Amino acid sequence: MNLKGRDFLKLLDFTPEEINYLLDLASELKEKKKQGIPVDTLKGKNVALIFEKTSTRTRCAFEVAAHDLGMGTTYLDPSGSQIGKKESIADTARVLAGMYEGIEYRGFEQEIVEELARYSKVPVWNGLTNEFHPTQMLADLLTIREHFGHLKGIRLTYMGDARYNMGNSLMVACAKMGMHFTACTTAKYFPAKELASQCEAIAKETGGSIRFTEDVKLGTKDVDVIYTDVWVSMGEPEQVWEERIRELSPYQVNKSVMENAGENAVFMHCLPAFHDLKTKIGAQMGERFGITEMEVTDEVFESLNSLVFEEAENRMHTIKAVMAATL
Binding string to ligand CP for residues 35 to 54, with x set by CB under 6 A, is what?
Answer: --------------------
Phi, psi for residue 298 in degrees, rounded to 5: -60, -35
Between 14 and 231, whose beta carbon lies closer to ligand NVA? 231
Name the DSSP class of 209.
E
The entry of ligand NVA, ligand CP, none near residue 56 (CB within 5 to 8 angstroms by kind) is ligand CP
Of residues 59, 133, 269, 275, which has the active-site annotation? 133
Q: Indicate left, alpha or beta for 189 from its phi (over 0: left) and psi (-120 to 50: alpha).
A: alpha
CB distance 199 to 175 below 8 Å: yes
Is 145 one of the annotated binding-site residues? no
Is 271 one of the annotated binding-site residues? yes
Footprint on residues 149-168 left by ligand NVA (CB under 6 A): 164-166
**Helices (H) and strands (E) in the chain — how many of each?**
13, 9
The one among 29, 112, 223, 270 contacting ligand CP by CB under 6 A: 270
The entry of ligand NVA, ligand CP, none near residue 319 (CB within 5 to 8 angstroms by kind) is none
3-state secondary structure of 75: strand
Does residue 256 bind ligand NVA (CB under 6 A)? no
The entry of ligand CP, ligand NVA, none near residue 64 (CB within 5 to 8 angstroms by kind) is none
Between 100 and 190, whose beta carbon lies closer to ligand NVA? 190
- The size of the chain, in residues, is 327
Of residues 140, 161, 229, 317, which has the active-site annotation? 229
- Give, in order, the Cα–Cα distances in Å from 325 to each of 93, 137, 250: 21, 16, 42
- Starting from the edge strand earliest in sequence, which strands make up the sheet with 46-51, in order? 72-76, 46-51, 102-106, 124-126
Is 159 one of the annotated binding-site residues? no
Of residues 6, 270, 275, 317, which has the active-site annotation? 270
Of residues 6, 7, 136, 163, which has the active-site annotation? 136
User: Which residues does 123 contact at the CB level (< 8 Å), separation at least 6?
Assistant: 5, 6, 7, 8, 101, 102, 103, 326, 327
Burial of 186 from C-beta contacts in 10 A (0-12 / 13-18 / 19+): middle
The entry of ligand NVA, ligand CP, none near residue 233 (CB within 5 to 8 angstroms by kind) is ligand NVA
Between 49 and 96, whose beta carbon lies closer to ligand NVA? 49
Q: Least CB distance from residue 184 to ligand CP, whole Å?
A: 21
The entry of ligand NVA, ligand CP, none near residue 230 (CB within 5 to 8 angstroms by kind) is ligand NVA
Of residues 6, 106, 180, 317, which has the active-site annotation? 106
The one among 14, 55, 117, 230 contacting ligand CP by CB under 6 A: 55
DSSP string, 244-260: HHHHHGGG-B-HHHHHH
Footprint on residues 275-314 left by ligand NVA (CB under 6 A): none
Does residue 57 bind ligand CP (CB under 6 A)? yes
Burial of 24 from C-beta contacts in 10 A (0-12 / 13-18 / 19+): middle
Distance CA 22, CA 138 (A): 8
- Widest pairwise Cα distance in the chain: 54
Is 244 one of the annotated binding-site residues? no
Does residue 252 bind ligand NVA (CB under 6 A)? no
Is 233 one of the annotated binding-site residues? yes
Catalytic residues: 106, 133, 136, 229, 270, 315
Residues in touch with ligand NVA (CB under 6 A): 128, 164-166, 229-230, 233-234, 270
Annotated binding site: 55-58, 82, 106, 133-136, 165, 229, 233-234, 270-271, 315
